[in-house]
Structure 1
């Protein structure tokens, strides 16, 4: 029995304060798994010590263990990287077989990602097209996906910006969000705190939020107006971002196809500028 089922099963036998805590966990699981205990305490109006006793009532050592159980209950758990890495050591002499298996799983990730987003991609594109500006955020392993999405989108749309927090500037960058903007946030389990912070700030600013993530129950998905899902399975120790990158490129392809001749004109202009400034090497002369 999962944590949510346990709470529902034992709810009638709880005190009023315990029911208040249980109701918050059931109705706001996203906040419970991403916020600190003190933040939850302030939100629900129950002292931290009481939340610890509530967790212990349910058989946990404390609040962190209750959060971990809720993460598993939401299907967001991830196996520790080091544990998966140890399982690869015995395969050191089987390099070719392991590499082949990784490529095979990448193919499966791409197939799963394609099938998960057929109807959602046009909605995601429409959300971005309606925005005054588009801000893109992805941290750690998701940073290259976010950067490439921003870089390519910027070739045919000027109002695309990267939220990267460079030099500790994330708070400053988030002040630029307006309710007429859209924010794209990319993350997978275990989820980046910065990504969740960006999504929350975007919602508070009234922005439309597009999440690229690995589960419909992820903290990002629960904060988003539209969700695109990618698979992260991998025989290696680290989750695969091949699906996330493919999903980003599929979204960009759809956006440029909908941009029509004006979009093509902006791409031609950007490409000419890249060659003119020397950013790109000139094409080799024909033999």
Structure 2
């Protein structure tokens, strides 16, 4: 695994000092050859031992091994670190588009790494076996929630989608064994969503949470958590990376459901045909 991709994937679980080291390495990978551990520590205002511990936490013997691995990755023209070098384009808009595409690709790759294939399989299996799938997301989290609920409905899955927590509280009173609740919440802090998740668990249902890769109250209620890794220092960019990574992960689950169930795929084809008939009419 690329060291830069590993750093991005693990960043959410790092301490404040570790995140400072991580951000410096991600932003300056192509310059790291000239930095000793002491120089890096001085640049960040931390101790040299913190740099060494950071390297060892990532599975390296020490900082020299980590530095060598990052320098090698940065030197590959088609490698993970290619996006850390300013993109070339004949028009500024082209450079901006290339940079945004690379950032989204990195977020999607890091997110894929922290959600194991076994976890994705388990979620798809839970959906196939569910009598009902409840879906909720508040605010901006409601955007991917609505899109995912619509796609499940197109597959013939009985889907209950609410954008109001109070209505969902009432709705999950009808939850039974093997029903599934999808809860979308970037930071996982809303107490009402935790209450809804707890209620579904008490009724024997499965709770799937979609949150950032950070410890949070909502994630603690999940039998099947989906974790998102997406970072950028610009407040207008980071939400775009998060949403892109969420949608990519949901697309993967949707395609898996289609590929593993002839029934779902037939129902989707029928629904698409009906919709086209309505449009043509």
CA drift of 1:125 comes to 1.0
Please give the alpha-carbon distance, in whole angstroms, between the structure 1 residues aligned to 2:225 and 2:113.
14
Please give the alpha-carbon distance, in whole angstroms, between the structure 1 residues aligned to 2:248 and 2:214.
18
Please give the alpha-carbon distance, in whole angstroms, between the structure 1 residues aligned to 2:163 and 2:118.
29
Q: How does 1:217-236 map to 2 (within 5 A)?
A: 217-236=215-234
1:211 aligned partner: 209
Deviation by residue 1:212-238 (Cα, 9 ceiling, x = unmatched): 222263323211111221213134315
CA drift of 1:180 comes to 3.2
Please give the alpha-carbon distance, in whole angstroms, between the structure 2 residues aligned to 1:206 and 1:95.
51
Q: Is the 8 A contact 2:178 2:204 kept in 1?
A: yes
Q: Is the 8 A contact 2:155 2:265 kept in 1?
A: yes
Q: How does 1:81-100 map to 2 (within 5 A)?
A: none
CA drift of 1:201 comes to 2.2
Q: Is the 8 A contact 2:111 2:245 kept in 1?
A: yes
2:150 aligned partner: 151
Deviation by residue 1:222-280 (Cα, 9 ceiling, x = unmatched): 111112212131343153211111111111111111112x22221121112112223xx
1:11 aligned partner: none
* Structure 2, unpaired ranges of 5+: 1-11, 17-91
Q: Which residue of 226, 244, 254 corresponds with 1:242?
A: 244
Please give the alpha-carbon distance, in whole angstroms, between the structure 2 residues aligned to 1:132 and 1:112.
32
CA drift of 1:140 comes to 1.4
Deviation by residue 1:159-196 (Cα, 9 ceiling, x = unmatched): 12213218x53333232322331111122226344432
State the TM-score, normalizing by the size of structure 1: 0.58
Matched, 1:259 2:255: no
Please give the alpha-carbon distance, in whole angstroms, between the structure 1 residues aligned to 2:112 and 2:96.
24
Residues 216, 272 of structure 1: CA spacing in aligned structure 2 closer, same or farther, 3 A cutoff? same
Aligned partner of residue 154 in structure 2, secondary structure? coil
Matched, 1:176 2:174: yes
Residues 122, 216 of structure 1: CA spacing in aligned structure 2 closer, same or farther, 3 A cutoff? farther
Matched, 1:105 2:107: no
Aligned partner of residue 184 in structure 1, secondary structure? strand
Residues 192, 115 of structure 1: CA spacing in aligned structure 2 closer, same or farther, 3 A cutoff? same
Residues 265, 97 of structure 1: CA spacing in aligned structure 2 closer, same or farther, 3 A cutoff? closer
Aligned partner of residue 146 in structure 1, secondary structure? helix
Aligned partner of residue 106 in structure 2, secondary structure? helix
Please give the alpha-carbon distance, in whole angstroms, between the structure 2 residues aligned to 1:216 and 1:126.
25
Please give the alpha-carbon distance, in whole angstroms, between the structure 1 residues aligned to 2:155 and 2:97.
37
CA drift of 1:119 comes to 2.8
Deviation by residue 1:1-42 (Cα, 9 ceiling, x = unmatched): xxxxxxxxxxxxxxxxxxxxxxxxxxxxxxxxxxxxxxxxxx
State the TM-score, normalizing by the size of structure 2: 0.59
RMSD of the alignment, in Å?
A: 2.8
* Structure 1, unpaired ranges of 5+: 1-72, 78-93, 283-287
